[in-house]
Structure formats: C-alpha cells, structure tokens
A and B are shown apart, each in its own frame.
Chain A
Amino acid sequence: MSVRSNSKRKNAVQSAILPLAFGAVLVTAWQTGLLHKLLNTDEYVLPYPTRILTIIGENSDKIMENVWASLEVALLGLVFGSILGYLIAVFAAAFTKIGSGSLTIISSFNAIPIVALAPVIINWTKDVSPEAEVRSTVAKVVIVTIVCMASMSVNAYRGLTELPAFSQDLMKTYGAGRITEFAKLRLPNSVPYIFTALRVSVPVSIISALVSEYFAEYVIGVGRQIRENILIAQYSTAWAYIIVACVIGIAMYVLLIAAEALVLKKRR
C-alpha cells in the first residue's frame, strides 16, 4: 500500500515537473534566440519573453480591464451554454424520438464557422439595448453559449442514456418511477460525461469569446486587443495579450481538472 501511494506521488510529481522543465527549456531557447533560429523567424514577429513581460507589467491595469471583460463573457457563455445543453440532453433523453433530432440540429450549429456566426448574432441582438456596452456583452455571451451548447448536449445525452448494464432493470425492480430513475440513476451517471464536455468547451469558450470580440461594437477584450495590435503591427503588445489569453486558458483548465478530481473522487 505504502509503496503504491509512494509511486503514485512520484507519478504526480513527475507529471508536474516534466512539463514545467520542458517549459523552462522552451523559454530559455526563446529568450536566447535559439527558438527564432529554429523557427526561422525574427524577434519582431516573436519578441523576447522579457520584452513581453515588461509590457504586461507596464500595462497591468489596462490588461486586467480587458481580461475581466473577456473572462466574464467566456464564463457566462460557458455556464449558460452548459445548462442549456444539459437541459436539451435531458429533453432528448426523456423523449428519445423527438429529442435525438434536436441533437443533430444543435451539433450542426457547430459546423458554422465562428467568423460567420459572430456577425450574425451581433446583428440579431442589435435591438436588445441602446447601450453599446450592454448589447455587445449580450451578443458575445450568446455566441459563446451557442458554441458551448453542442458539446454539452451531445456528451450529456450519452451520459443520460448509456447506462451500466442491468441498472435500469434494477431500478424497475425497486419500482422506481421515471423521476426517481432520472434523479438516482441517469443524473449521477451523466456526471463524468459533463466533465468530458467541459474539457472540450472550456478552451472553446475562451477562443470563441476572443473571436466574438473582434466583431463586437463595444471595443474591449483580450481578443480585440490582440487583433488591434497585430493589425497596427505592434507584435510585442499583441504577444503580451496572447500570453495573457494563454494564462486565462490554463487557469480555467486547471480549475476544471481540480473540480473534476474533487467531484469524481467523492463518488468513488
């Protein structure tokens, strides 16, 4: 037992240290210009980490303002999209015949490129509020919601319908009604699938929040700053925001993994 937990700990330490070490090597190569030689690029398109960090340090207030704007959109969209996706899955699982068609429709939304979806939604939400800031936020949240909806509904549907063998029979012998069956069997069974869906939709929510900012009327957000700076050829500043976007992504993903470990551990 102790040997096993020891090796487990060793494993965990390894999976934290190895990527970090690799990251350190990467950053060193980047800072020393080795990476530029390998990629055949210059310090203009790919500025040195120190320069990027300096810019982040000098503009921390402005950057934080944009980070909150983007994070708010990504999180709200993720929450709305996931809830909506789950409810659709419940509906589809309850009325299999009518419902499965709706899943096909929902997933077809994902085949529309976000560069096409974003301007459409922004046009559709024009009358929501006379305040540009409000209607832009609404539009961006709706875009992220739509994008996050599909992966949740498809995965949750699997979780609600692909039940362990004989479990349904067991519920029947208990004389459980549909609602009890849902609460005691289907709902718990879908929890791991919810996390599978979130693993996909967390990074997607961030990316789609950033892209939706390109098109939004109210000028704010990390994505907007990246585009703005790339177009006026300020690559160092653009990279500062790219790094910030990556940090947001990693932070949200780590939180998700932690939450998953916590929730699923309790179930075992």
Chain B
Amino acid sequence: MRLSKKALAVLITAAMITSAMTACSSSSSSADASSASSSSTAGSSTADGATADGDRIIAAAKEGKVGNWGLGNEYEIFALLTKYGQENKFISQAFDMDGFDDGSITLASAMTYNELGLVKNSYEGGYKYGDKVGIIDMNDEGVAMLEDNLFCTKEFAKKNPNTVKAFIAASMKGWKYACENPEEAAKIVYEAGSSVSSDHQAYMASEVKKLCETDTKGNKVTDYGKMDEAAMQQTLDLAKKYIKLDDSTAADKLKSLTLDDIRSTSYWEDAMKESFDKPEKTDVSIQLKWLPQAQFMGYFVANAKGYYKDVGLNVNIVSGGGDIGETTAVNNGTVDFGVTWVSNLISANAGGMDLLEIAQVYQRSGLVLVYKK
C-alpha cells in the first residue's frame, strides 16, 4: 500500500510535469489522476447519520481527516483520539481553514477566538459558515490542557523578583480592564499596529474574555492569572502521556516533572497583594506566542493605559509566531518574559530549559474541533 502510494505520487508528478512541458492544461491530467485514486479509496466513506461527537471523531480518524497544526499544538488532539481508541495521527493543517473548507479535513482544529471566528463569520478572510458548523470542545471532552500563560526563566525570577511581581501586577490589571471592556481592548490592539482586521479583533476579544473568566469545568473565575491546581495537574498528566520525545534523557526528565518544577504561585500571590518593591530591571520585553492580536490584549492594554509605567516598568512587546519560539527566546535571554502554552513549557523544561510559569491567563482550553453540520 505504501509503495503503491509512492508510485502514484511519482506518476502524478511525472504526468503533471509532462503536461506542463507539452503546454497542455495540467488540470485535465490531474483530474484523471484524482479520479483514478479516489476509486481505489472508495468504500471508506463516512457513516451515515453519525451525529454523536464520538462517532464523528472515530469516522474522521479512520479516514485520516483530523487536522491540527502540529509543532506542539497537537497533544489535546492525541488525548482525544486515544479516548476514542484511535491512532494518534493528524494531517498537518495550514494556518488558514482552506483544508476544512474544501473537505480534505473533516475535523479541523480551531481556536475559539481565532479560526472558529473565521469559519463562522463573514468579515474579510471569513468563510461564512455561520451556524452550519458544529464544535467539539476539549474542555467538555475532559482532555483540556491549559494554554496561554506568562513565564520567565527561574534565574530571572530569582534575580529580579520585584520586576517579576510588578510585571504580573500591571499585566493582570491590563487583563482585567481588557476583559471588562473587550471592544475598547480590541481597538487598542488594532491601534498598536496589529494587522488583524478590526472586526475579527473584536470577535477575538469577546472570545478571549470567556477563556480568562471560565475554568475547564465551566465555573466563573474572578482572579485573573490564577493557577488552578487541578487544571495544571491535568495538563501535566496529559503532557506526560502524549508528549513523545525521541531524546531519552529528555523523556526521562519529562516523566519525573512535578508542578513545582514548572510553576511558582508566590510571585502572582504577591503581585495580587501589591506587595513588591522597586523593580530591579526596568526595561523588560515580552515575546508573544503568536502575532500581535487580541489574544494578548491584556499586555497591549496595560501598555496603552500606562499600567506598566505606574509600576516603574518600560515594556517592549515582541511579536511571536516565528521559528525561534518564545521558550527559546526567553531561555537565551533575548526577551525577559514570554507567553506560551503550558504543554510547551513542560516539553522545554524536559529538554533542559529552566523556565517558570508565573501566571496562568487562560483558565480553560481554547482549542476545539470544527465540523460541517
């Protein structure tokens, strides 16, 4: 089977190239090829009337049409697939939803605040599906892992405890304001130079608010940045099970990690009580996990409203989303703080970094799988 797939790939490429050479339209040849190969895979069609989420997941997994971006974002999907007895495999999803749209992915990963909005809404870049899509929520499925947090290196925290506390205090004040005034927050992010359309930004802010104020069980959270012990533990347990590391040293370390190795609640507690002195380091930078957008509105608001200035900090917000990840940038000292997913911090520490989570901004998982109804 593997061999025949490869042969098919070679054949198709050769056919495409020959047709390009003879200046024929390449569409005819590729259409032939696709019809030929689709007949060979016929029979594995979706079961009719599969309405329950479980059946839907099993069907998509059997077809190999579950999508995720990979690169450290896939662990919740693995946990979900395992829950339904499926092989831990996914198709690498591009950063748009075209694969979902054209049907090559039937269960596509989406963040509630980003891709889901694009799929549903009709503003620029949107796919206009509206209510015609359904979602499978990781929190409801019991496989939620915590995402956007705030972290620095242990060394930095030890050397600059007051900077860390002041930064947490001002940032959480920013998050509080942003969640209370999502529309204004969206506008602030947009004006700070984000290129995400302002409509999408507003949608994003309203969804991010939900993630900051609701925990994995659906209860309301009022303390911004609180580290929920149970949710953290669930994240660590799932991480240990589903993060597969080829490096045996790192894999062993991963198994031995405890919550105390990855987070410290004391800085956040002091910050909330506002018990800190003058910051040791006043010029600090924070690298985001992704492009500047309302996903990180708390920091932009804290900057724009002068909360950082109030505690004596001068903050530079660095865009993420490049190949030098936020964990690497913080670890090598290019930036002081970072926003990452807890699972990524765990694998980084397993690999030998010494990072410390100092606040947990998102209280529940923002990852969902979307399907067409």
Known: A87-B21, A219-B90, A237-B247. A134 touches B5 (CB 8 A): yes
Contact between chains at A133 and B5 (CB < 8 Å): yes
Contact between chains at B72 and A217 (CB < 8 Å): no
Q: Specify which chain B residues have a CB less than 8 angstroms from the CB of A135 in the assembled complex.
A: 9
Contact with B along A54-68 (1 / 0, CB 8 A): 110011001000000
Contact between chains at B99 and A217 (CB < 8 Å): yes
Known: A59-B246, A130-B41. A234 touches B351 (CB 8 A): yes
Contact between chains at B347 and A218 (CB < 8 Å): no
CA of A127 to CA of B35, assembled, Å: 10
Q: Which of A51, A129, A219, A230 contacts B8 (CB 8 A)?
A: A129
Does B260 have its Cβ within 8 Å of any Cβ on chain A?
A: no
Contact between chains at B9 and A217 (CB < 8 Å): no
How extensive is the interface on chain A, given as a class?
Answer: 35 or more
Contact between chains at B246 and A55 (CB < 8 Å): yes
Tell me which residues from 235 to 260 in chain A have a Cβ below 8 Å from any Cβ of chain B. 235-237, 240
Instruction: Name the residue on B nearest A54 (C-beta).
Output: B248
Tell me which residues from 232 to 250 in chain B have a Cβ below 8 Å from any Cβ of chain A. 243, 245-250
Known: A129-B12, A217-B104. A228 touches B70 (CB 8 A): yes
Does B58 have its Cβ within 8 Å of any Cβ on chain A?
A: no
Q: Specify which chain B residues have a CB less than 8 angstroms from the CB of A181 in the assembled complex.
A: none
Q: How far is the CB of A86 from chain B (nearest CB, A)?
A: 11
Contact between chains at B34 and A80 (CB < 8 Å): no
Known: A134-B12, A230-B325, A236-B250. A219 touches B5 (CB 8 A): no
CA of A54 to CA of B93, assembled, Å: 32
Q: How far is the CB of A232 from chain B (nearest CB, A)?
A: 4
Known: A128-B33, A219-B90. A80 touches B248 (CB 8 A): no
Instruction: Name the residue on B nearest A234 (C-beta).
Output: B351
Q: Specify which chain B residues have a CB less than 8 angstroms from the CB of A232 in the assembled complex.
A: 71-72, 243, 325, 344, 347-348, 351
CA of A134 to CA of B33, assembled, Å: 11
Does B285 have its Cβ within 8 Å of any Cβ on chain A?
A: no
Q: How far is the CB of B23 from chain A (nearest CB, A)?
A: 11
CA of A146 to CA of B13, assembled, Å: 12
Known: A58-B246, A126-B104, A134-B37. A230 touches B92 (CB 8 A): no
Instruction: Name the residue on A nearest B14 (C-beta).
Output: A80
CA of A131 to CA of B30, assembled, Å: 13
CA of A167 to CA of B92, assembled, Å: 56
The stretch among A12-20, A137-145, A191-199 that forms the contact with chain B is A137-145
Q: Specify which chain B residues have a CB less than 8 angstroms from the CB of A128 in the assembled complex.
A: 12, 16, 30, 33-34
Q: Specify which chain A residues have a CB less than 8 angstroms from the CB of B102 in the assembled complex.
A: 126
CA of A231 to CA of B353, assembled, Å: 13
Does B126 have its Cβ within 8 Å of any Cβ on chain A?
A: no
CA of A232 to CA of B343, assembled, Å: 9
Contact between chains at B5 and A131 (CB < 8 Å): yes
Known: A228-B71, A233-B351. A138 touches B34 (CB 8 A): no
Does A2 have its Cβ within 8 Å of any Cβ on chain B?
A: no
Q: How far is the CB of B373 from chain A (nearest CB, A)?
A: 22
Does A182 have its Cβ within 8 Å of any Cβ on chain B?
A: no
Contact between chains at A44 and B248 (CB < 8 Å): no
Tell me which residues from 4 to 44 in chain B have a Cβ below 8 Å from any Cβ of chain A. 5-6, 8-10, 12-14, 16-17, 21, 30-31, 33-34, 37-38, 41
Q: Specify which chain A residues have a CB less than 8 angstroms from the CB of B34 in the assembled complex.
A: 127-130
Contact between chains at B344 and A233 (CB < 8 Å): yes
Q: Specify which chain B residues have a CB less than 8 angstroms from the CB of A131 in the assembled complex.
A: 5, 8, 37, 41
Contact with A along B351-369 (1 / 0, CB 8 A): 1110000000000000000
Known: A126-B102, A127-B34. A76 touches B10 (CB 8 A): yes
Q: Specify which chain B residues have a CB less than 8 angstroms from the CB of A233 in the assembled complex.
A: 325, 327-328, 331, 344, 347-348, 351, 353
Contact between chains at A235 and B30 (CB < 8 Å): no
Q: What are 7 A-B contacts with C-beta separation under 8 Å?
A: A137-B6, A137-B10, A141-B10, A228-B71, A233-B347, A236-B247, A240-B246
